[in-house]
Structure 1
Amino acid sequence: MYLYTPDEIDRERAHHQAVIQGADDLAVKRIGNLGELAFEQFCREYLPVEMWEWENEEAIRRCNSESFSGNDFDVFGYEIDVKTSRDVSAFRPANLLENDPDDDIIVMVWHRDNEDALILLGWERTETLESKVRTQGAYSGDEPKKLAHLAARPMNELQDLGPNTAHMNQKPQNPFKPGDRVVKAEDADASVAVVVEVLPPEQDVNLYGQTMDGEAVCVAFPNTLDDGPGNWREIHPAKLASYCDDQNIKLYTYKHANLEYPDNPFTPGDYVIKPDYDDPDLAVVLRVADDGDDDRDITVAFCKHLEKEFGEQMEIPPANLRSRCDEVGVDSYSYNHDELSFKQQY
């Protein structure tokens, strides 16, 4: 058995995709998505990457509706469906067949009540389940009330269905995740960008007619995001790919090794605080300067002052916010970027 612990990005994507899908029961669909994410991680760790495919990978990564494929994964040419449940009785052979009789293999995943951990219990061929059900009906009679048979072969035996190939771990090597601020490495004038998507290692990406040698990261620039219909800073990073896809916001693809974290990650419109204060007030970045007096390269205005002047629903583009503050006399303050921290609003 294997334990899978979803991170915040996984949990948000699993839920938002269920919302976009229009699921009648959001909890069931969300948990099903988490089960697929768990099995995807197993495949990535233990199976040759060229011999399995996740049908719903892009749909869940971008929180789009699924294409209603008959199965969740193709592994070694077998059609596999992932069944996730808190009730282990769902993994009895007859119950599995009743809910999904058409796939070649069923993978069983159990989850905790609060969905913070999932356990891959095992897998079984559908034809074996059919045989077990027939055998139970013909020869076993009634099962003991306190001891019910659950179908499950050990997860690591799934490797035996494929050819005798070397172990191929395809875990992503890049350090970035959605929402991270990055710049192009070794470029003194590089603009700060926001990571929107981290593509899987096996994704073939073509740049300028050539296949990229390395993992791809898709980014958007804040000024482009600012032109969108919503305040992207109030959207969870897990949903940025969905937002950009829906709004046709242009993304730029880089090899992960060509990106690095910036010394100064802030851009106009960012929500920040001065964390060394006991009860810091929320502020918005008005200006980011290359140089400033006493190294104070960030100019901010406090939200309580902005709301007093412009109202709670302030609809001023970040690029215009500084000039509007100057026009009406909103006080601004300067700090060194090392003194400030992001205060996320999602």
Structure 2
Amino acid sequence: MYQFTPDEIDRKRANHQAVKQGADDVDAKRIGNLGEIAFEQFCREYLPAEMWEWKNEDAIRRCNPESFSGHDFEVFGYEIDVKTSRDVSAFHPETLVENDSDDDILVMVWHRDNEDSLIMLGWERVETLKSKVETEQQFSGNSPDKLEHLATRPMNELRDLGPNTANMNQKPENPFQPGDRVEKRGEEESSVGVVVEVLPPETQIELYGQELDGEGVRVTFPSSLDEGPGDWRDIDPALFSSYCDDQDVSLYTYKHANLKFADNPFTVGDYVIKSSHDDPDPAVVVDVDGEDVSVVYEGPRGDEVSPANLKDHCEAEELSTYSYSHDEMEFIASE
């Protein structure tokens, strides 16, 4: 068995995708999404990337409705569906066969009430489940009152269905997450970008007609986000990919090794505080000049005055601005 602990990005995406899907039961759909994410992590750790495919990867990453597919994964040519439940009785052979008898393999995932931890109990072939049900009906009669049979095989045995391979850990090597502020390495005047998507390591990407040698990171720029219908700084970074896809925001793909965390991560329109103040007042960035950041206190939000016009607005309204070194400032959420 394996334990999976979802992070905040997993949680946000699983829930938002369920909402965008229009699920009748958003809670059940969210939990099902988390089960798929858990199994994807298992595949990434233990199975060769070229021999498994997650059918809903794009849909969950971008929080889009899923295209119809009768199963969640294909592994070694087998169709696999992930079953996630808090109720262990959902994993009785008879219940599994009644609910899904069309796939090749079912993976069973149990979750805690607050969804902070999921346990992959194991897997089983559907044909084996059918056989167990038939055998019990013909020869065993009713199950004991206090002892119900759960049909599962250890997760590690999935590897035996494919070629003989060693541990195939394919976790991403790049250090970035959605929302990180980055800039291109080796450029003195590089613009600050915002990470939108961190692509799976096995994703094949072509740039200028050549395949990208390394992991891909999709980035956009604050000026593009500022043109959107609302204040993008109000959006959880886990949902940037969904937002950019909905609003057709231009994304740019970089090799992860060609990016670095921005030395000065602030851009015009950011909400900040001066970290050394005991009871800091919120401020809005109105200008960035090298290592320095100019801010206005009690200034307008980005959805009141566009960031591109903030500096001129402050001058026209005679609002006082203050300049600090960028390392004296911290991001805060907009109010």
**TM-based fold match above 0.5:** yes
User: 2:162 is aligned with what amino acid?
Assistant: G
Once the two structures are superposed, residues 52-91 of structure 1 have per-residue CA deviations (whole angstroms, 9 ceiling, x without a partner) of 0000000001000000200000000000000000000000
**Counterpart of 1:205?**
205
Q: Does 1:324 align with 2:313?
A: yes
Aligned counterparts of 2:30 and 2:138: Cα–Cα separation in 1? 38
Q: Does 1:29 align with 2:29?
A: yes
**Counterpart of 2:254?**
254
Give the CA deviation at 1:314: 4.7
> Would you say the 8 A contact 2:72–2:82 is kept in 1?
yes
Aligned to 2:325, which of 333, 336, 344?
Answer: 336
Aligned to 1:301, which of 296, 299, 303?
Answer: 296
User: 2:175 is aligned with what amino acid?
Assistant: P
**Counterpart of 1:190?**
190
Once the two structures are superposed, residues 77-131 of structure 1 have per-residue CA deviations (whole angstroms, 9 ceiling, x without a partner) of 0000000000000000011111111000000000011101101000000000000
**Counterpart of 1:90?**
90
Aligned counterparts of 1:184 and 1:313: Cα–Cα separation in 2? 26
Give the CA deviation at 1:146: 0.9
Give the CA deviation at 1:345: 3.6
Aligned counterparts of 2:110 and 2:277: Cα–Cα separation in 1? 44
Distance change in 2, residues 1:37/1:345 (3 Å): farther
Superposition pairs for residues 31-180 of structure 1, below 5 Å?
31-180=31-180
Unaligned runs of 5+ in 1: 292-296
Aligned counterparts of 1:170 and 1:270: Cα–Cα separation in 2? 35
User: 1:88 is aligned with what amino acid?
Assistant: V
**Counterpart of 1:220?**
220
User: 1:300 is aligned with what amino acid?
Assistant: V
Aligned counterparts of 1:345 and 1:59: Cα–Cα separation in 2? 28
> Would you say the 8 A contact 2:84–2:110 is kept in 1?
yes
CA RMSD for the aligned pairs? 1.3
Aligned counterparts of 2:333 and 2:125: Cα–Cα separation in 1? 46
User: 2:299 is aligned with what amino acid?
Assistant: L
Give the CA deviation at 1:278: 2.4
Superposition pairs for residues 254-293 of structure 1, below 5 Å?
254-290=254-290
Q: Secondary structure at the match of 1:306?
A: coil
Q: Secondary structure at the match of 1:124?
A: strand
Aligned length: 335
> Would you say the 8 A contact 2:231–2:303 is kept in 1?
no
| Percent of paired sites with the same residue | 67
Aligned counterparts of 1:197 and 1:43: Cα–Cα separation in 2? 20
Q: Secondary structure at the match of 1:159?
A: helix
> Would you say the 8 A contact 2:286–2:296 is kept in 1?
yes
User: 2:293 is aligned with what amino acid?
Assistant: I
TM-score norm. by structure 2 comes to 0.98
Aligned counterparts of 1:290 and 1:200: Cα–Cα separation in 2? 34
Once the two structures are superposed, residues 267-307 of structure 1 have per-residue CA deviations (whole angstroms, 9 ceiling, x without a partner) of 0001111222222211110100126xxxxx111112xx336
Aligned counterparts of 1:135 and 1:246: Cα–Cα separation in 2? 51
Distance change in 2, residues 1:230/1:108 (3 Å): same
Q: Secondary structure at the match of 1:83?
A: strand
Distance change in 2, residues 1:125/1:287 (3 Å): same
Q: Secondary structure at the match of 1:38?
A: helix
> Would you say the 8 A contact 2:198–2:217 is kept in 1?
yes
Give the CA deviation at 1:139: 1.1
User: 2:331 is aligned with what amino acid?
Assistant: F
Once the two structures are superposed, residues 21-65 of structure 1 have per-residue CA deviations (whole angstroms, 9 ceiling, x without a partner) of 011111100000000000000000000110000000000010000
Unaligned runs of 5+ in 2: none
Aligned counterparts of 1:344 and 1:121: Cα–Cα separation in 2? 39
> Would you say the 8 A contact 2:230–2:303 is kept in 1?
no
**Counterpart of 2:13?**
13
